[in-house]
């Protein structure tokens, strides 16, 4: 019995290692390739070239700004909606799940032209506003955001916790801010990461709506240069994960502070 | 005067009527249990009292006040749920203090109350543990403390012990009762476990199909079941078909033998009735000259821990006989001829109905001796 358990453990480690190799090997290969900017030696020349290009920081900051607005808009729209559906309209769960698949079904190019056609004439003319880009990003990241929040809500049994809070005298706002949102912390954080990663690398909407985002910049560099795109990929990977780590750090500090506050 | 009053309460979900015309009065400081099988409407009734379900018709009064349009948070009730419903992001102290903070209690007063509650449930060293770090029994204790901390007018408990194992269930059951007595708190308890209901309640409401079949003290319910359903649902019963030989003298005819019940009988001579016997009221040797005696053959001997149950074939029916497990006494073997002896007071008579169903779990959980 002990042997079968250790064999199972070994098998688990094998599959984990295989998964990690699948994920990290291309990354390592890209990294090694990015170091070959100078003939015969390994150097960070490609990285220096990328950093020397003012477009790099400009486009990254633009996408970062768009990502922040997208995350805020998505959270404001989707979190209360998902909570409301779980508490008051459970029958609408199926409809929302179907809706959340739509961005996968409708290609971004169709979405982009649909947005241009709808918002290029009165009453709402938004084609020249970044609001339209954020709106498009909200739609694209909707499946990740909704499904992650939905999974979190299913895990904490919100209707039951809401009843427990209500019978203790809590108002809806108390239920939302002291029960639902803290209970959803992990899933909200995951949803934010997914949303962030989606927006940072998004290409189609930014190109068609003509915004100087990071996605189009990476595509441009990849078309014209050899080693710099590899360096850029590694840098964007590091920047995205760095930003995500920072968000997690800030959020966990906030939760720890609130947690201490509850202890009488 | 009733502290909680349910008046002609009805509740339907679509076309299904779950609670039918239910009226009940709960006295202040009373421990009342709703007892019934799945789908009998006991939890729905409790949820209507809490305000989580709106009655289709009828009224609920708490301390004389009509609860129509009063939200759960304003009903001044506490509730303990089957699945604990502790807030996972808060530690034990945070959970207990939740209602106190909502009510505006802060600092020392909240701290003091939390400490009192932890002492009450015997979990003083657990204030900073999170629900995921506690066992099921500990979580339910915290849920109980959280509900009591805000000093509710009454506490509603929705099958609070059904997710726990037998040993913890028994201990926590006794704890709930002693806390209720100590605080003099009105409690309404929902359970499907008859032993639980009978052991801790002042009164039990046995429910079936959305109605109360019988309301009474545990001994009334057990000793004098008002309906065939209550008789079969509570405890075990063996039923024999009998004919009234002499109603005035309390004489019955069972399989050609005369038996004596408590006279006079509320039936006419010649009428066919169902004679029900509790397994613990039957012995294998007469204890007095008045005892009725029926012959039988032992079919099986079942070991139930402190109790040994004999299944005896008598008068064409299986009759259960319970006795304490005494290792010094030899048990009859299957196939052995025995005498079933019972006093006239043990004979419960009801209009004739098909043979009583034996609760399956009683047989399946026992071990053949």
Q: Which residues contact A78 (CB under 8 A, 6 or more apart)?
A: A142, A145, A146, A149, A191
Query: Are residues B129 and B6 part of one domain?
Result: yes
Among B173, B203, B230, the domain boundary falls at B230
- B368 pLDDT exceeds 50? no
Same domain assignment for residues B164 and B47: yes
Round to whole Å and give the CA distance between B347 and B259: 9
Provide the b/e sequence for A212-223 (b: ≥16 CB within 10 Å).
ebbbbbbeebee
Same domain for B158 and B276?
no
Q: CB distance B72–A174 less than 8 Å?
A: no
Among B230, B251, B277, give the residue marking a domain's end: B230
Asked if residue A115 has pLDDT above 80, the reply is yes
In this predicted structure, the answer to whether residue A1 has a pLDDT above a threshold of 90 is no
Chain segment B36-56, per-residue pLDDT in tens: 999 999 999 999 999 999 999
DSSP bridge partners of B187: B31, B155
Alpha carbon dihedral B145, B148, B154, B158, in 10-degree steps, equals -20
Check which CATH number belongs to the domain holding B183 and give it.
3.40.50.300
Report the percent of chain A where pLDDT is more than 90: 39
Q: Identify the residue whose tokens are 């609860």.
A: B67
If pLDDT is split at 50, 70 and 90, which confidence band does A187 have? confident
Residue finishing a domain among B199, B230, B261: B230
Q: Say whether pLDDT at B63 is over 80.
A: yes
Q: In the prediction, which pLDDT does B355 show?
A: 45
Question: Residue A264 above 70 pLDDT?
Answer: no
What is the count of structural domains for chain B?
2
Give the pLDDT band (50/70/90) at residue B215: very high
Rounded to two decimals, the ipTM of the complex is: 0.82
**Distance from chain centroid for Cα A152:** 16
Quote the CA–CA distance of B340 and A69 in Å, as a whole number.
Answer: 83
Q: Looking at the structure, do residues B209 and B268 belong to the same domain, yes or no? A: no
Burial class of residue A251 (count of CB atoms within 10 Å of its CB; 0-12, 13-18, 19+): middle
Query: What residues form DSSP beta bridges with B257?
Result: B254
pLDDT of residue A78: 94
pLDDT for the residue B328: 85
Reported as a single tens digit per residue, the pLDDT across A22-58 is 989 999 999 999 998 888 888 898 899 888 889 888 9
Q: Is B154 on the interface with A (CB under 8 A)?
A: no
Do B226 and B249 lie in one domain? The reply is no
Nearest chain B Cα distance for residue A242, angstroms:
26
| CB neighbour burial string for B153-182, b if at least 16 within 10 angstroms, e if fewer | ebbbbbbbbeebeeebbeebbebbbebbee
**CATH class, A59-242 region:** mainly alpha
SS3 of residue B190 by DSSP: strand
Segments forming the whole domain that contains residue B295: 236-368
Extended strands (E) in B235-281: 238-246, 251-254, 257-260, 272-277
pLDDT at A3: 65
Place of tokens 């609070």: B160
Residues of chain A with pLDDT > 70, as a percent, come to 93
pLDDT for residue A50: 86
Q: Which residues of chain A neighbour B103 with C-beta distances below 8 Å?
A: 169
Q: Which two tokens stand for residue B153?
A: 């007018």
Within 64-93 of B, beta carbons closer than 8 Å to A belong to 71-75, 77-79, 81, 83, 85-91, 93
Q: How far is B153 from chain A (nearest CA, A)?
A: 12
Read off the pLDDT of each residue in B92-121 and give the average, rounded to a whole number. Answer: 92
Q: CB count, 10 Å around CB of B143?
A: 26
Measured CA to CA, the distance from residue B346 to residue B287 in angstroms comes to 13
Which single residue is written with the structure tokens 């100078």?
Answer: A38
Tokens of B194: 């008859």
CATH for B322? 2.40.50.100
Task: Read off the pLDDT of each residue in B258-263 and give the average, rounded to a whole number.
Answer: 90
Weakest mean pLDDT among A88-102, A121-135, B50-64: A121-135
How far is it, in rounded angstroms, from Cα A201 to Cα B320?
75
Percent of chain B with pLDDT over 70: 95
CA–CA gap between residue B55 and residue A78 (Å, rounded): 32
- The pLDDT tens digits of the residues spanning B289-304 come to 778 999 999 999 998 8
B124 shares its domain with B166:
yes
Considering only CB atoms, B77 lies closest to which of A164, A167, A183, namely A167
Chain A residues with CB under 8 Å of B79 CB are 163-164, 167
Give residue A249's pLDDT.
75
Residue-level pLDDT at A257 = 47
């Amino acid at each position: 019995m002990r042997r079968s358990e250790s064999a199972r453990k070994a098998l688990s480690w094998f599959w984990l290692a295989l998964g990690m190799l699948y994920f990290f090997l291309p990354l390592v290969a890209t990294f090694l390739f990015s170091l070959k900017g100078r003939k015969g030696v390994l150097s960070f020349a490609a990285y220096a070239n990328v950093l020397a290009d003012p477009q790099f920081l400009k486009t990254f900051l633009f996408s970062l700004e768009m990502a922040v607005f997208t995350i805020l808009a998505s959270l404001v729209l989707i979190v209360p909606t998902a909570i409301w559906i779980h508490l008051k309209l459970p029958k609408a769960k199926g409809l929302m799940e179907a809706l959340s698949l739509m961005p996968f079904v409708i290609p971004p190019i169709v979405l982009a032209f649909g947005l241009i056609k709808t918002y290029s004439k009165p009453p709402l003319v938004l084609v020249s506003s970044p609001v339209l880009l954020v709106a498009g990003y909200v739609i694209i990241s909707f499946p990740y955001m909704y499904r992650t929040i939905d999974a979190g809500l299913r895990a904490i049994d919100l209707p039951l916790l809401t009843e427990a809070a209500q019978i203790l005298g809590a108002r809806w706002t108390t239920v939302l801010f002291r029960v639902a949102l803290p209970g959803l912390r992990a899933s909200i954080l995951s949803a934010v990461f997914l949303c962030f990663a989606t927006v940072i690398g998004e290409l189609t909407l930014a190109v068609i709506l003509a915004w100087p985002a990071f996605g189009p910049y990476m595509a441009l560099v990849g078309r014209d240069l050899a080693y710099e795109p590899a360096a850029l990929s590694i840098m964007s990977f590091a920047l995205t994960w760095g930003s995500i780590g920072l968000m997690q750090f800030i959020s966990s500090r906030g939760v720890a502070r609130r947690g201490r506050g509850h202890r009488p | 005067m009733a502290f909680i009053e349910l008046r002609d309460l009805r509740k339907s979900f679509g076309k299904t009527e779950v609670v039918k015309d239910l009226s009940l009065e709960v006295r202040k400081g009373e421990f009342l249990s709703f007892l019934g099988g799945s789908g009998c409407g006991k939890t729905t009734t409790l949820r209507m009292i809490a305000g989580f379900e709106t009655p289709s018709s009828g009224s609920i009064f708490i301390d004389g006040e009509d609860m129509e349009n009063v939200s759960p948070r304003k009903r001044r009730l506490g509730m303990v749920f089957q699945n604990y419903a502790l807030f996972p992001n808060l530690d034990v102290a945070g959970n207990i203090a939740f209602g106190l903070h909502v009510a505006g209690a802060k600092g020392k007063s909240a701290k003091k109350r939390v400490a009192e509650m932890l002492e009450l449930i015997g979990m003083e060293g657990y204030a900073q543990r999170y629900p995921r770090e506690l066992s099921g029994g500990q979580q339910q204790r915290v849920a109980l403390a959280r509900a009591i901390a805000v000093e509710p007018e009454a506490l509603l408990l929705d099958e609070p012990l059904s997710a726990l194992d037998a040993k913890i269930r028994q201990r926590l059951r006794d704890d709930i009762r002693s806390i209720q007595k100590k605080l003099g708190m009105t409690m309404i308890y929902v359970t499907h476990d008859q032993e639980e209901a009978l052991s801790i309640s002042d009164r039990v409401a046995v429910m079936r199909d959305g109605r109360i079949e019988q309301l009474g003290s545990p001994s009334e319910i057990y000793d004098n079941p008002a309906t065939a359903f209550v008789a079969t649902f509570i405890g075990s019963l063996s039923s024999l078909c009998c004919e009234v030989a002499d109603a005035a003298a309390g004489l019955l005819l069972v399989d050609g033998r005369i038996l004596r019940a408590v006279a006079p009988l509320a039936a006419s001579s010649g009428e066919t009735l169902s004679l029900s016997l509790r397994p613990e009221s039957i012995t294998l040797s007469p204890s007095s000259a008045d005892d009725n005696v029926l012959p039988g053959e032992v079919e099986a001997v079942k070991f139930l821990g402190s109790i040994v149950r004999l299944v005896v074939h008598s008068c064409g029916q299986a009759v259960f006989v319970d006795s304490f497990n005494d290792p010094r006494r030899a048990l009859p073997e299957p196939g052995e001829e025995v005498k079933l002896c019972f006093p006239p007071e043990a004979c419960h008579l009801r209009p004739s109905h098909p043979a009583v169903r034996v609760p399956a779990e009683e047989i399946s959980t026992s071990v053949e001796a």
